[in-house]
Amino acid sequence: MVRSRFPFVLAALAVMVTTGCDRCAESGCDTPDCNPAATPYELEIPPFFPPMDIPQDNPLTVEGIELGRLLFWEKDLSADGSMSCGSCHLPEAGFADPNPYSTGITGSQGVRNAMALINIGWAPSYFWDGRALTLEEQILEPVSHPDEMALPWADAVDRLQATESEVNAAINYPDLFEVAFTDRIISPELVTKAIAQFLRTMVSADSKFDQWRRGELSLTDDEFAGYEMFLREGGDPETTPGGQFGGDCFHCHGEAGLQFSDYLFRNNGLDSTFVSDAGHASVSGNPLDSGRFKTPTLRNVALTAPYMHDGRFSTLEDVIDHYNSGGVPSTTVDPFMKYTTGGLALNSMQKNQLLAFLHTLTDTAFVSNPEFLDPH
């Protein structure tokens, strides 16, 4: 059995709590973005996590978060009233889509797998290609995208605004916006701000691995062996300097800040050409970014099948086999996929141990948290 052994525990506890709008609480509102009618919300930063940078123009408030939750699950934000944001980010699938591609209201499909919504308040960019740099910017896209909810934003805000005069409306959105943002006039900007507030509260930090890190329980021998595999360099030390016969996972899915992602863009050897999807190159314009996609977090990875930007792998076993094979060489393949000529050569037992470790990252309390589920 294995127990916590990290010497920097004390330092990791340094920044525990981020105050969403502490200036409001202390002295009343003295900035244009502060709202005296809303209640500041203190987001607890879990042990070992980095601070979360919350935009100064969108501080967390109790009312803003609850409004964001209503809007996230609001089907009236789709053209035919059949889909909400949550339709493609299912709790039971780790707030991801269990299908390789999400199907929009018209029946057309996107070109990439919907990313899991988990700890995304720490991400420095959004979408597989990183084309949005803020959550607020990211949220703008699915509502009006013709392959998704297909509702022009002008129509979306009109619908929400109209609830004010609907006698039988279950929710009077202008009232809620007024409390959350001191503005009864609903705009796309305020809608995205509210949803972003809600998404920033979707913090997962209670997986078995987290509990182990906090010294609350032990990992099994296989889980810990898998963790060690995760942290070891890949390759045969006889042929690869520094090789440790490991899984070589930690380079991109590092445990710094317990994010299990470096949030960088990488070509992990899926394809040799990138005609159908250039990845980050479509954003940066740099050919060296062809085939590069954002490293997703491994948190709740056992729940978020299928895998990769196009959902090509159905199981975690398929994913491990891909990395074990070394992937496909190309002009932009990541140097960490350096074993494209031989793979990691993990045996069945090692692969199972790695799998056991990945399952320790499942946080069932997160996906069943009633504060994140559909309130309608």
**Single residue of 2, 62, 90, 264 touching other proteins by CB under 8 A:** 264
Tokens at residue 232, please?
Answer: 């070891």
Q: Rounded to whole angstroms, how far apart are CA atoms 293 and 273? A: 14
Closer by beta carbon to other proteins, 182 or else 331: 331
* 133 belongs to the binding site for other proteins (CB under 8 A): no
What's 344-369 look like in SS3? CCCCHHHHHHHHHHHHCCCCHHHHCC
322: left (phi over 0), alpha (psi -120 to 50) or beta: alpha
Q: What are the beta bridge partners of residue 293?
A: 266
Among 10-18, 79-87, 133-141, 361-369, the segment contacting other proteins (CB under 8 A)? 10-18
Question: Closest distance between other proteins and the C-beta of residue 23, in Å?
Answer: 18
Residue 316 sits in the site that holds other proteins (CB under 8 A) = no
* Stretch binding other proteins (CB under 8 A), from 45-53, 80-88, 180-188, 297-305: 45-53
Closer by beta carbon to other proteins, 155 or else 228: 228
Q: Which stretch, 28-36, 79-87, 221-229, 233-241, contacts other proteins (CB under 8 A)?
A: 233-241
Give the C-alpha separation, 72 to 256, whole Å: 30
Query: What number of chain residues touch other proteins (CB under 8 A)?
Result: 50
The structure tokens listed for 272 are 């040799």
51 binds other proteins (CB under 8 A): yes
Closest CB 328 distance from other proteins, rounded Å: 10
The burial class, CB within 10 Å (0-12 / 13-18 / 19+), for 254 is: middle
Our CB check for other proteins shows the closer of 256 and 373 to be 256
Q: How far apart are CA 45 and CA 40, in angstroms?
A: 15
Among 84, 259, 290, 360, binds other proteins (CB under 8 A): 259
8 binds other proteins (CB under 8 A): yes
